Amino acid sequence: MNLNTIKEIQSKRSNPSVTITLPTYRTSPDNDKDPIRLKNLVGQAIEQLESQFGKRETLEIADAIRRMADEVDHEHNLDGLVIFASAEYAQSFKLPFRLPERVSIEDNFLTRDLVYAMNRSPLYLLVVLSENGTRLFIGRKDLLNEVNDYGFPFSLKGSVASANPSQDISHVRDQIVSDSMREVGEAIAAAQKDTPAPVVVVGVDRNIGHFRDGARNSDEVMLYIHSGHHDEDAHQLAKKIWPQIKQALDEERQKIFTELESAKSNHLFVGGLNEVWQAAIDGRVEVLVVEEDLSIPAEVSEDGRQLKLLESAELAAPSKDNNAYEDIVDEIIEKVLANNGRVRFVNNESMASVNPDFGMAVITRY
The residue segments making up the domain with residue 185 are: 123-252
294 and 341 share a domain? yes
**Other CB atoms within 10 A of residue 22 CB:** 23
Please report, for the domain that includes residue 298, its CATH number: 3.30.1330.30
The answer as to whether 101 is a domain residue is yes
Please report, for the domain that includes residue 37, its CATH number: 3.30.960.10
How far is residue 246 CA from its own chain's centroid? 17
The answer as to whether 7 is a domain residue is yes
226 and 128 share a domain? yes
The answer as to whether 59 is a domain residue is yes
Query: Is the sign of the CA dihedral 26, 32, 36, 39 positive or negative?
Result: positive
Dump the DSSP string for 262-303.
HHHHTT-EE-SHHHHHHHHHTT-EEEEEEETT----EEE-TT
242 and 279 share a domain? no
Q: State pLDDT tens for residues 45-85.
A: 999 999 999 999 999 999 999 999 999 999 888 889 999 99
Determine whether 157 is exposed, middle or buried from the number of CB atoms within 10 Å of its CB (0-12, 13-18, 19+): exposed
111 and 47 share a domain? yes
**Other CB atoms within 10 A of residue 245 CB:** 21
The answer as to whether 260 is a domain residue is no
Alpha-carbon torsion, ordered 15, 19, 20, 24, to 10 deg? 170
Dump the DSSP string for 312-323.
GGGGSS--GGGT
CB 211 within 8 A of CB 192: no
86 and 156 share a domain? no
Most confident of 112-121, 287-296, 318-327: 287-296
Alpha-helix runs per DSSP H in the chain = 3-10, 34-53, 59-70, 112-120, 169-194, 205-214, 234-265, 273-281, 328-338
58 and 96 share a domain? yes
225 and 276 share a domain? no
Q: pTM higher than 0.85, yes or no?
A: no
157 and 131 share a domain? yes
84 and 183 share a domain? no
The answer as to whether 258 is a domain residue is no
Q: Give, in order, the Cα–Cα distances in Å from 64 to each of 87, 89, 148, 233.
A: 9, 9, 31, 38
The answer as to whether 234 is a domain residue is yes
**Other CB atoms within 10 A of residue 120 CB:** 13
40 and 133 share a domain? no
- Tell me what pLDDT residue 19 has: 96
* Rounded distance between C-alpha atoms, residue 201 and residue 226, angstroms: 8
The answer as to whether 262 is a domain residue is no
The answer as to whether 276 is a domain residue is yes
Q: State pLDDT tens for residues 4-31.
A: 788 889 889 999 999 999 999 988 888 8
Please report, for the domain that includes residue 163, its CATH number: 3.30.420.60
13 and 127 share a domain? no
What is the chain's Cα-based Rg? 24
CB 71 within 8 A of CB 128: no
Q: How many domains does the chain fold into?
A: 3
Q: Find the mean pLDDT for residues 164-168.
A: 50
- Tell me what pLDDT residue 317 has: 52
Among 252, 278, 309, the domain boundary falls at: 252
Among 120, 137, 161, the domain boundary falls at: 120
11 and 103 share a domain? yes
CB 139 within 8 A of CB 124: yes
Among 120, 143, 166, the domain boundary falls at: 120
Sheet containing strand 307-309, strands side by side: 307-309, 298-300, 324-325
* Rounded distance between C-alpha atoms, residue 366 and residue 364, angstroms: 5
Determine whether 242 is exposed, middle or buried from the number of CB atoms within 10 Å of its CB (0-12, 13-18, 19+): middle
Q: State pLDDT tens for residues 205-258.
A: 989 999 999 999 999 999 999 987 666 788 888 889 999 999 998 888 788 999
